[in-house]
Amino acid sequence: MQVDLTVNGVRHALDLDPRVTLLDALRHDLGLTGSKKGCDHGQCGACTVLVNGRRINACLALAVMHEGDEITTVEGLGEPGALHPLQAAFVTHDGFQCGYCTPGQVVSACGMLGEVREGWPSHVSVDLEGPVDLSDVEISERMSGNLCRCAAYTGINEAIREASAKSEAAE
């Protein structure tokens, strides 16, 4: 099937087997291997990408469903020498060890901070309305779809807290 995917601002015209997941299209067909496969079943979050700004598990989507969507992968957030503030904070706070879950964590955190800015409540939010206070429990709750077997959670949360504080200060 013919499908047009816009990834990190670049349009790609692809001819894909309809069974190809968005994750495999990124990794195999576009060579964007930053998005990782940890389970292929929507259970680990390693494949998290942003679709029109919202985070999804790319292993649970078929590529052909995303014709015309704006997809952002970890490669689109920053690169060595020009890291996204979240990526830089992950390095400073050692928010990873083996690094395999890391792209998913970074992209997920990026999407999550957007949700917080828009005032979306979570399971642990005290209030369903109004602005969200990004407490430690909120970060942990909202990031629990991204597993890390190295268990770098302390560093991950510190990195997210720092990056979010910095971006608030900048606003």
Partner 1 sequence: MTTQFKMDAPQRPLLDRTEQGVIHRPLDRPEGPLKVSGRAHYAAERQLPGQVEGVLVRATIARGRLAGMNAEEVRAMPGVLGVFSDERFLRNPAQGGAGEAPVQGVREIFYHGQPIALVVAETLEQARHAAANLRPSYEEAEAQVDPATASDVDRPDKRRLDQGDLDRAMAEARASVDVTYTTPPHHSAAMELHASVASWEGERLTLHGSYQMLKYNKAELADSLGIPEENVRVLSPFVGGGFGSKLGISPEAVAAAIAARDLGRPVRVVMTRQQVFSMVTHRTSTRQRIRLAADEEGRLTGIGHEDRVYNLPDEVFSEPTTQSTHFLYAGANRRLGQEVARVNRACTGSVRAPGEAVGMLALEGAMDELARVLHMDPIDLRRRNIPDRHPEQDIPYSARRLADCMDQGARAFGWSPGSRREGEWLVGQGMAAAARINMVAPSEARVTLRGDGTALVETDMTDIGTGTYAILGQIAGEMLGLPVASVDVRLGDTDLPPAAGSGGSHGASSAGSSVFLACQGLRATLAERLGCEAEDLTLKDGVATGGNFRADLVDLLSGGDLSEEGKFEPGETADDASQAGYGAFFAEVAVNRITGETRVLRMLGTFAAGRILNEKTARSQCQGGMIWGIGAALTEELSFDPRDGHAVNDDLAEYHLPVNADCPPIEVHFLDERDEMSCPIQTKGVGELGISGAGAAVLNAIFDATGIRVRDYPATLDKVLAGLPD
Q: Where are the beta strands (DSSP E) in 17-151?
A: 48-51, 54-57, 70-72
Output the smallest distance, CB 100 to partner 1, in A.
Answer: 3
Out of 32, 56, 64, 110, the residue judged to bind partner 1 by CB under 8 A: 32
57 touches ligand FES by CB under 6 A = yes
Cα three-residue angle 4-101-5, rounded to 5 degrees: 5
Between CA 154 and CA 152 the distance in angstroms is 6
Contacts of 154 (CB under 8 A, 6+ apart): none
Residue 59 interacts, among ligand FES, partner 1, none and using kind-specific CB cut-offs from 5 to 8 Å, with: ligand FES
Between CA 156 and CA 105 the distance in angstroms is 8
Binding mask 92-121 for partner 1 (x = CB under 8 A): x-x-xxxxxxxx--x---------------
* Interface positions with partner 1 (CB under 8 A): 17, 19-20, 24, 27-28, 31-41, 43-44, 46, 73-75, 77-81, 83, 87-88, 90-92, 94, 96-103, 106, 136-137, 139-141, 143-144, 146-157
